[in-house]
Amino acid sequence: MAKSAKTFLQTLEQKYPSQVIRIKGGPLKPHENECSSIVWQLKRAGKVPATIFENLQTISGKKWEGYSQWQQEGSYARIAIACDLPEERWQAADIFQELTRRLNNPIKPEVIIKDEAPVKHKVVTGEDVNFFDLPLYRKDEKDARPGWICGLAIGKDPETGRYNLSWHRNHIHGPQRSAARLQYRHLWSYLQKTKAMGKKEMPVAWIFGAHPLLMLAGAVRPGYESDEYDVAGGLLNEPLRLVPSATLGDDFLIPADAEVIVEGYLHVEEKEFLGPWVDFMRYYSPQVLEPVFRPTAFNFAETPIAEHNWVGHNTLHGEIGYSITLTRELQSKFPKVKVAHRIQPYTCVVQFTPTIPGEAQRLAHYALVSIGDFIKNVIIVDEDINPFDVNDVLWAVGTRVDANTNQVQIVRDLNANRHDPSSFSDLLVGGFIIDATKPVGKPFPELGVPERAVVERIKLEDFLSLEQLDKLAAGGGSQITGMGI
């Protein structure tokens, strides 16, 4: 069976029930912050389960025929489950290693017929296409009304035919009108090519619900030469199944096993206000003018599971997507890099032990440019430091960095990401490099650790029961299991 949001949810509920929760009460109005309020309260209680809402009312007053899900990708455990990794490989380092391997091994997609495609269970076209019939949502108090959808855009290069997957938000303005936020990357460049060809609109489709590894394909940045349907297949570890779109048929293919796909056109000139909206850095981004999107078809799976992406609170996009992309880029020039972890917005920690003086500084400067304007701060740590543990990283900074030396460098006048609240209005920003590695060729104190032979002889499970370990994990003891819910 092909991987989908439903197969993933089924795995969670059957094998890992502590990872998922269903909310049956309601009807809830996601466009009035009612779903996000529940998810927010769960997180404040220290819990981030995949949360399924079964009873939703749309802006048009109709009952949503399916469900919505929040946080399917909100923990490393669930990313590991999505990768079919055994529990002994649920540590973040193992997950990054596996996803980096898959990113390096793309798989070509396969095209199937409409009758075999779950996403073609119901297709709505013409005057029946109405955004207000979808479960639009608002995450935060001052998110602009009436509502939003945030999903994976499918673009196609009008010159080469290359498919691109990228995350974008849509601010809904009317039943058949939205504004779509575009960064100056692939989809924006396709729009400029379309305009240069003398066309007024460019075909595009949005995925609002799918298997988490398909959604991850839009968060990685494999390079302009890669067809990202191939990348998605590599991450899924199986060919991505495609089906002709309702709007353009074989000229524009869409994922067959998605839950909700909205087809339509982006206008090359017409724009509409978008925002405010809280983006991945958790601050409100300013209101701006963005291209108008006109929907032409809705594609639904049976009982569709719509994605309500909690931007800034998940692990899928910022942490994992940027991290495995950066890891691959750095390893191509510095093979001794173990992993690069985007630990917070615009900030990465690179695990790397230099062997010659100045090597860490060269690596850090390369990290600043490897994924464009998404990194401005770089911290390099030795291999004995866990780059996924902020306390471990800060311990290395506190005990291995002398700010009187070039271990600390300020980098000025970097082009700023448009979402970076620290850059204000000039779109320039400063960054820093911290080399928190031990000096090469110089004496340094030895780190104290228990005697290895004794650690190997005294096994934790001989002194603590499985029930005790589970209680520690349930109480937030992620050091024991590496996870929680």
Is pLDDT of 228 > 80? yes
With b meaning 16 or more CB within 10 Å and e meaning fewer, what string describes 184-193?
eebbeebbeb
> Coil, strand or helix: which one is 445?
coil
What tens digit of pLDDT does each residue of 131-185 get?
A: 999 999 999 999 999 999 999 999 999 999 999 999 999 999 999 999 999 988 8
Select the more confidently predicted residue: 235 or 464.
Answer: 235
Find the helix or strand (DSSP H, E) in which 202 lies: strand 201-207
Question: Could you say which DSSP state residue 144 is in?
Answer: P
Is pLDDT of 478 > 50? no
E strand map for 259-383:
260-274, 277-278, 284-285, 288-300, 305-307, 339-344, 346-351, 375-381
The identity of residue 452, as a single letter, is R
Partners of 429 in the β-ladder: 414
Distance in Å from the first CA to the final CA of the chain:
26
What tens digit of pLDDT does each residue of 167-176 get?
A: 999 999 999 9
Range list of H helices, 197-314? 212-216, 228-236
Is pLDDT of 408 > 50? yes
Lowest-pLDDT choice from 407-416, 439-448, 457-466: 457-466
Question: Could you say which DSSP state residue 421 is in?
Answer: G
405-413 average pLDDT score: 94
Q: Where in the chain is the domain with CATH 3.40.1670.10?
A: 334-436
5-307, which class in CATH? mainly beta
* Pairwise CA distance, residues 329 & 367, whole Å: 8
368-393 average pLDDT score: 94
**C-beta separation of 207 from 151 below 8 A:** yes
The matching CATH number, chosen from 3.40.1670.10, 3.40.50.970, 3.40.640.10, 3.40.50.10860, for 334-436 is 3.40.1670.10
What tens digit of pLDDT does each residue of 51-109 get?
A: 999 999 999 999 999 999 998 888 899 999 999 999 999 998 899 999 999 999 999 99
Select the more confidently predicted residue: 418 or 65.
Answer: 65
Count of residues for the chain? 485
What does the pLDDT read at residue 196?
98
What does the pLDDT read at residue 271?
97
Select the more confidently predicted residue: 189 or 475.
Answer: 189
435-453 average pLDDT score: 91
Q: Where in the chain is the domain with CATH 2.30.110.10?
A: 5-307
The identity of residue 403, as a single letter, is A
In terms of C-beta density within 10 A (0-12 exposed, 13-18 middle, 19 or more buried), how is residue 4 classed?
buried
pLDDT band at 485 (very low <50, low <70, confident <90, very high): very low
User: What distances in angstroms separate CA 345 from CA 216, 218, 349, 412, one per listed residue?
Assistant: 17, 17, 12, 18
With a CB cutoff of 8 Å and minimum separation 6, the contacts of 413 are 428, 430
What tens digit of pLDDT does each residue of 28-42 get?
A: 999 999 999 999 999
What does the pLDDT read at residue 473?
64
Pairing status of strand 201-207 against strand 346-351: unpaired
**C-beta separation of 82 from 50 below 8 A:** no
Whole-model pTM? 0.90
The token duo for 204 is: 């595009």
222-241 average pLDDT score: 94
**C-beta separation of 170 from 149 below 8 A:** yes
Proportion of the chain above pLDDT 90, given as a percent: 78
Which of 182, 184, 157, 178 shows the shortest CA–CA distance to 252?
157
111-138 average pLDDT score: 98
pLDDT band at 243 (very low <50, low <70, confident <90, very high): very high
Which of 28, 43, 21 shows the shortest CA–CA distance to 314?
43
Lowest-pLDDT choice from 143-147, 263-267, 268-272, 279-283: 279-283
What does the pLDDT read at residue 482?
36
Is pLDDT of 8 > 60? yes
With a CB cutoff of 8 Å and minimum separation 6, the contacts of 97 are 339
Rg (CA), the chain: 23
pLDDT averaged over the chain? 92
| DSSP-derived secondary structure for 223-255 | -TTS-HHHHHHHHHTSPPEEEEETTTEEEEEEE
Is pLDDT of 479 > 60? no
435-447 average pLDDT score: 92
What does the pLDDT read at residue 477?
40
